[in-house]
Amino acid sequence: MAPANDPAAPPFGAFAPTRAQASIISLAHRSRLKRGAFRPMLSRLINALRAGPLDVPYQGASFRFYHQASATERGALFNPDYNLEELDFLRAHTPIGGVFVDVGANVGTYAMVLARHVGASGKVIAIEPHPVTHARLAFNRSASGFTQVQLVAAAAGPSDGELMIATDGDNLGASHIVSGDRPGNAIKVPSLRLQRILDDAGADHVDALKIDVEGFEDRVLTGFFKQAPQRLWPRAVVIEHLSRNEWLDDCIADMRARRYAETGRTRSNTMLVRG
């Protein structure tokens, strides 16, 4: 099968669910079982009916989901309310024509949804370093027709240079930064400071930002807030806190000290608004 960003890749719709697959997806949407072994089990069942990705709409955008090896893609495929509280928060704090930044964009389940919200006059900056995931992100942008989404094929980091990223197990979305002395199956990717990324994208302000970089959030944000002009500080932030034990600095506490107030919390994320 051609890579997602290959011009020879089949167009969106080529992998529309079969009738049997669509029935299983519909059943999942109606079920109260949303976590645990439920999604992987359904993914295996759907894959047994027809192997390969699935082309489906999600929150008003078009996605080709490779659900077999991505928890994020399984979540969006089987749960129509996946990350809905976070998405509603971001939409509430990002105006039409606004600027949204997605640090660790994965396949775009935040970026594409916010692109639809801000419209053609807005700007979405989607940062995703893993080449396979980035290719899927690029395909989903093209399938959705969202030219307002600018893609950055680099990791956001504390400095401009390079970083190593690795994937544990079969969840591509859990790719994370590793030290240079533990390469294992790691790959080298470009690294850019968040301020550099925003400047290169021509952003003069940021309405909302979501960051999910598997325990590297503090390395991205702490230096950014110290060095970037306040006009670039996002007005609203969604930050994943599941890996905060890997932070060297408590970047949520740092944001509180900069007049951000915590306004909500889900199982995975903390939501903050700048006062």
Say if residue 178 is in the same domain as residue 198. yes
Q: Has residue 9 been placed in a domain? A: no
Say if residue 237 is in the same domain as residue 203. yes
Say if residue 110 is in the same domain as residue 233. yes
pLDDT of residue 38: 85
Region 150-177 average pLDDT: 84
Looking at the predicted structure, is the pLDDT value of residue 246 above 60? yes
Looking at the predicted structure, is the pLDDT value of residue 178 above 80? no
Reduce the DSSP state of residue 196 to 3 states and report it.
Answer: helix
Say if residue 43 is in the same domain as residue 112. no
Per the CB < 8 A criterion, the answer to whether 72 and 106 are in contact is yes
CA 60 to chain centre: 16
- Euclidean distance between CA atoms 174 and 165, whole angstroms: 10
What is the domain count for the chain?
2
- Euclidean distance between CA atoms 217 and 157, whole angstroms: 9
pLDDT of residue 100: 99
**Between 165 and 271, whose confidence is greater?**
271
- Euclidean distance between CA atoms 271 and 69, whole angstroms: 28
pLDDT of residue 9: 84
Instruction: Point out the domain boundary residue: 78, 98, 116.
Output: 78
What is the rounded average pLDDT for all residues in the chain? 92
Say if residue 206 is in the same domain as residue 257. yes
Residues spanned by the domain of 23: 19-78
pLDDT of residue 183: 56
Q: Has residue 13 been placed in a domain? A: no
Listed residue (159, 150, 74) closest to 112, CA to CA: 150
Say if residue 67 is in the same domain as residue 144. no
Say if residue 199 is in the same domain as residue 261. yes
| Domain CATH for 255 | 3.40.50.150
pTM: 0.93
Region 53-82 average pLDDT: 95
Region 104-127 average pLDDT: 98
Say if residue 88 is in the same domain as residue 65. no
- Euclidean distance between CA atoms 115 and 90, whole angstroms: 11
Q: Has residue 265 been placed in a domain? A: yes
